[in-house]
Amino acid sequence: MKLSLKIIFLPILLITLNCSNEPKQISFTKDIQPILEDRCIYCHSSDGPEGNIVLEDYQSVFSSRYKNHTTPMIVPGNPQTSRLYIVVSTRNTSMRMPPERLGEDPLSEDEVKIIHTWIEQGAQEN
């Protein structure tokens, strides 16, 4: 009897442990937009966007391009080629956003990870 219980519960335990290691689904509305509003919107609103980049809402994040750059702000599934992730995660202080020259602190590691995970998960509008 004890052996049969182990056989039954072992797969359930393994499935449960495996599921708990998956990152939570990142929501644009709940997770990304608050970061953008708190840390980016001061310079990147439609009122006078720096570098022609508007980060007010989901559509503007996807449609913005930095001046003459061809790198999209977001490449769903690929943070390393998404300009938004590149500029918030770089160690190059002259390129990093928000800019140090304005006295702004970089995004926290958690904020950068949230952006990375959202893009990696497909950058959905949810």
Q: Taking 70 as the threshold, does the pLDDT of residue 106 lie above it?
A: yes
Give the pair of three-digit tokens for residue 66: 């930095």
Reported as a single tens digit per residue, the pLDDT across 40-85 is 999 999 998 888 899 999 999 998 877 667 778 999 999 999 999 9
3-state secondary structure of 22: coil
Give the mean model confidence (pLDDT) for residues 4-25.
58
pTM: 0.80
pLDDT of residue 14: 47
Give the pair of three-digit tokens for residue 100: 């140090």
Rounded Cα–Cα distance for residues 123 and 78 (Å) = 9
